[in-house]
Structure 1
Amino acid sequence: MRDGPFDIGLADEAATRRLGEDLALALKPGDLVCLEGDLGAGKTTLARAFLRAMADDPDLEVPSPTFTLVQTYDLRVPVHHLDLYRLGAADEIDELGVEEMIASGIVLVEWPERAAGRLPPAALTIRLDQDGDGRRARISGAAPALKRLDRSLAIRGFLAGAGWSHSTRRFMFGDASTRAYETVEQGGERRILMNAPRQPDGPVIRDGKPYSQIAHLAEDVLPFVAIGEALKTAGFAAPSIHAADIEAGLLLLEHLGSGNFLANDGSPVAERYAEAGRLLAALHGKSWPETITTSQGVAHHVPAYDRGAMTIEVELLTDWYMPYVTGSPVSAEVKAAYVAAWNTVFDRLESAEKSLVLRDYHSPNIVWRDDRQGLDRLGLVDFQDAMIGPAAYDLASLAMDARVTIPPEMERATIEAYASARAAAGGFDRAGFDEAYAIMAAQRNAKILGIFVRLDRRDGKPVYLKHLPRIRAYFARALVHPALEPVAAFCQSAGLLDDTLS
């Protein structure tokens, strides 16, 4: 990983445009980028390619801000494009409000030398110079931004090695974890790029382990490869893997489509949730190994969704959510009472049916494919954290969708679609499953309440707070089951079920 200045060759105009795309996948709000070089060196070409990639619009009109000095674009991250070539005097830069621009998005500056040192420190400086028939880009800047750009350039290299050197790259989404996704297109074919570098372990929480190890979170992309191959072998629609660099955390995946579970008005489509319930019934009707050997001969042990993992997850409620709503930390005595209540409930799971738990089986992670039939109608795209645990967990994840409000009647219909399919196959303990469903629904929603607050408080992602009312309602709905009485009693005594906190 390069942590100092470096230079790269740009053989032609297309290579300069690709650098603009790579830059668009590397920058983040608060970055100021200085573009240096003589007239005709390619600064405008680079800036235009960057803006079109940010907009996901190859035809975006990008007028030169030579006379206006500033052109602002309201994109997924606001971008302020400055051209200081005709700046009258260096002190005019103060009137532009560059620091305010940086606070609101990304700032791209051509001819930064005209500012005579009055610009804030640049995250990156890119100098373009003619180099024979091509160009050479000299890149310097702050270590964090250099690291991000170096990662983006490494992804370009990975794509080239897979035969996709001339592909266009577009941001798809970054989820609540450290993974990010891109759509890449070449010759009319589309694929998905998963960018999931191995993360350093967090602080030790207990038993000498960080949270990720206690909760059995995937630490590299091997689990995704292993579980995906197992799902495909069993007849489910997981994406084919066209290229993989497990050490680097990069996968080039089949694009399964873009259909979702929502109607045009944004409401959930009941039959799609029911169909996803029936797919789970098929999945739970199969036997799953605890160790999966990939086609490359690498073994992955599927961890157990054990009490340690379940407990550390529900503790997110006392660690993050309760302090958020009460304004003060939770005492050791209160936390101990909470964990004791959950342990009483978890005892009831000893006899619950176990199966492969995909762990985040809800609408954002299931692709609806209207032109397909049977199991192929639903594409599965998020399963790297899969475990062997209570089968009911994934149905609770689906029927109490964290990102979509599912009315009680639709939840019941989804459960019935699953239960009917299981009963038809024989040997289904409905009463036992219903109890496990309520327990895992409460467990999942307690966890998510904590995670969404943590994403705001620790990770600076306040957008997740908008989901809290929905998750609180789901949590209260699950606590009605008699099996949850110890946890319900704790929540009642702690005021967590009061209207003022929900």
Structure 2
Amino acid sequence: MSDREQQRLDFLKSAGLADAERAPLPGDASTRRYERLTTPSGRSLMLMDQAPAAESRPCDPAWTPAERQAQGWNAIARLSAGRIEAFAAVANHLRSLGLSAPEIMAVDADAGLAVLEDFGDGLFARVIENGEPEEPLYLAAVEALASLHQAETPQTLSGPAGEWPLQIYDAVALKGGADLFVEWMPKLEPRLVFADSALSEWDAAWAPVIREAEAQASVMAHRDYHAENLIWLPERQGAARVGMIDFQDAVRAHPSWDLHSLLQDARRDVSPELEARALDHYFTLRPDLDREAFMRSYAALAALNEARILGIFARLIVRDGKPRYRAFMARMWDHLQRNIPLAGQAVQTWFDTHVPAELRR
């Protein structure tokens, strides 16, 4: 038996779950793993397993940009490194607003283990595949975001495993994400060659988008808000019908961030008509917003995010040997090309100059 397995057994015993049946769930692109627990009485719970040493350190709010670069990707991007205390603090904040995040039943942050409420298997993507009309789900997801965005956004969140800082999705993190495109796409597609001059133009093209995004970082962003991370809970009411998971990397960001993650999804098609109706619903719920200014940022940040995701997919394929992510790239290119003209002339010119049309697929 491994030392890690003994830790799991000890933790489950301390939580009164030594007799629970354990069923591992499929993994994703992270270093986390989950098991479904079934107690002798038939209750279903989830075991979250994230060994703290499995990733580089999360970002200390006091670190300078240079220190973040030296500490690695989690520090650059202000990711939580999967820390259980981050998940617990964000969950507590969401639940305090009447939104649906899993209740934390037991937690050992030092060991990287937690027992969570089980929301079941009703991921938005799966229930829609099984015939559930998609529009009510997407409108409910927008309602949950509007509720979150209208709430006070604290700088520090508190939960059952301690406090966690809600840091700004700042220029270092945004630029680091965008730069994954120019770092990894040439490794996937050798016909793409970006000289130093092209890289300087890349930085200059995105600079105004990044400045605006940092300046308008005003709400808590889930940062991975899409149909594979939302669970339909139809027995609940209103925005609480949207069960949220995988929010441990939450930051303060521009309020458009989670919207374009939801409505310009890498993993499934969302029609332009549904996207438009969902955005109309959001603006109905938040009538004080300047819609024109908001939508300029929505398109520009969607383009930046889509370039980031293409870089991530290229890295997963080339470095991590996960070719299945290639299947998502055409959809991301479609989204990116729709947003490029709205992201500013410099961004448009850069892609027209350095990425041939036949490679945008």
TM-score by length of 1: 0.66
Q: CA separation of 1:156/1:217 partners in 2, compared to 1, >3 Å: closer, same or farther?
A: same
Whether the aligned pair in 2 keeps the contact of 1:224 and 1:383 (CA below 8 Å) is: yes
Give the alignment of 1:280-429 within 5 angstroms. Answer: 280-295=145-160, 298-327=162-191, 330-349=194-213, 352=216, 354-423=218-287, 427-429=288-290
Q: How many residues align?
A: 348
Deviation at 1:444, TM superposition (A): 1.3
Which of 140, 144, 147 is equivalent to 1:279? 144
Deviation at 1:208, TM superposition (A): 2.5
Partner Cα separation in structure 2 for residue 495 and residue 443 of structure 1: 15
> Higher helix proportion, which one?
2
Deviation at 1:353, TM superposition (A): 5.9
The corresponding residue for 2:62 is none
The worse-fitting range, judged by mean Cα deviation, of 149-158 and 384-393 is 149-158
Match of 2:124, SS state, is coil
Which of 117, 123, 147 is equivalent to 1:260? 123
Give the alignment of 1:102-121 within 5 angstroms. Answer: none
Aligned-partner residue type, residue 210 of structure 1: G
Partner Cα separation in structure 2 for residue 323 and residue 287 of structure 1: 43
Q: Are residues 1:489 and 2:349 paired?
A: yes
Partner Cα separation in structure 1 for residue 9 and residue 218 of structure 2: 41
- Compare CA radii of gyration and give the structure with the larger one: 1
Whether the aligned pair in 2 keeps the contact of 1:323 and 1:329 (CA below 8 Å) is: no
Which of 430, 436, 450 is equivalent to 2:297? 436
Cα-to-partner distance string for 1:276-328 (whole Å, 9 max, x where unaligned): 112111111111110123345x3211111101100000000001123312346
The corresponding residue for 1:154 is 7
Q: Are residues 1:169 and 2:29 paired?
A: no
Partner Cα separation in structure 1 for residue 211 and residue 166 of structure 2: 22
Partner Cα separation in structure 2 for residue 450 and residue 267 of structure 1: 33
Partner Cα separation in structure 1 for residue 355 and residue 100 of structure 2: 44
The worse-fitting range, judged by mean Cα deviation, of 169-178 and 447-456 is 169-178
Q: CA separation of 1:205/1:489 partners in 2, compared to 1, >3 Å: closer, same or farther?
A: farther
Deviation at 1:346, TM superposition (A): 2.2
Aligned-partner residue type, residue 218 of structure 1: S
Partner Cα separation in structure 1 for residue 242 and residue 353 of structure 2: 42
Deviation at 1:350, TM superposition (A): 5.6
The corresponding residue for 1:178 is 31
* Higher-RCO chain (CA-CA 8 Å, sequence separation at least 6): 2
The corresponding residue for 1:458 is 319
The corresponding residue for 1:208 is 70
Q: CA separation of 1:489/1:323 partners in 2, compared to 1, >3 Å: closer, same or farther?
A: farther
Match of 1:326, SS state, is coil
TM-score by length of 2: 0.90
Q: Are residues 1:237 and 2:100 paired?
A: yes
Aligned-partner residue type, residue 435 of structure 1: R
Partner Cα separation in structure 2 for residue 229 and residue 350 of structure 1: 25
The worse-fitting range, judged by mean Cα deviation, of 189-198 and 346-355 is 346-355
Unpaired runs of 5+ residues, structure 2, are 58-65
Cα-to-partner distance string for 1:124-167 (whole Å, 9 max, x where unaligned): xxxxxxxxxxxxxxx6xxxxxxxxx4323422222122111121
Whether the aligned pair in 2 keeps the contact of 1:352 and 1:433 (CA below 8 Å) is: no
Partner Cα separation in structure 2 for residue 367 and residue 484 of structure 1: 36
The corresponding residue for 1:468 is 329
Aligned-partner residue type, residue 15 of structure 2: A
Q: CA separation of 1:328/1:440 partners in 2, compared to 1, >3 Å: closer, same or farther?
A: closer
Cα-to-partner distance string for 1:83-131 (whole Å, 9 max, x where unaligned): xxxxxxxxxxxxxxxxxxxxxxxxxxxxxxxxxxxxxxxxxxxxxxxxx
Q: CA separation of 1:266/1:327 partners in 2, compared to 1, >3 Å: closer, same or farther?
A: farther
> Higher strand proportion, which one?
1
Whether the aligned pair in 1 keeps the contact of 2:101 and 2:245 (CA below 8 Å) is: yes
Match of 1:208, SS state, is helix
The corresponding residue for 1:51 is none
Match of 2:286, SS state, is helix
Aligned-partner residue type, residue 242 of structure 2: L
The corresponding residue for 2:61 is none
Cα-to-partner distance string for 1:326-372 (whole Å, 9 max, x where unaligned): 34653333222112111132233365362111100111111111222
Q: CA separation of 1:253/1:414 partners in 2, compared to 1, >3 Å: closer, same or farther?
A: same
Match of 1:405, SS state, is coil
Aligned-partner residue type, residue 365 of structure 1: N
Partner Cα separation in structure 1 for residue 191 and residue 11 of structure 2: 47
Which of 249, 265, 289 is equivalent to 2:112? 249
The corresponding residue for 1:193 is 47
Aligned-partner residue type, residue 469 of structure 1: A
Partner Cα separation in structure 2 for residue 300 and residue 206 of structure 1: 18
Cα-to-partner distance string for 1:442-488 (whole Å, 9 max, x where unaligned): 1211111011111121122222111111111111122231x432212
**Percent of residue pairs identical:** 32
Aligned-partner residue type, residue 491 of structure 1: F
Partner Cα separation in structure 2 for residue 477 and residue 501 of structure 1: 12
Q: CA separation of 1:328/1:442 partners in 2, compared to 1, >3 Å: closer, same or farther?
A: closer
Partner Cα separation in structure 2 for residue 245 and residue 178 of structure 1: 17
Q: CA separation of 1:205/1:411 partners in 2, compared to 1, >3 Å: closer, same or farther?
A: farther
Unpaired runs of 5+ residues, structure 1, are 1-138, 140-148
Q: CA separation of 1:466/1:221 partners in 2, compared to 1, >3 Å: closer, same or farther?
A: same
Whether the aligned pair in 2 keeps the contact of 1:182 and 1:194 (CA below 8 Å) is: yes
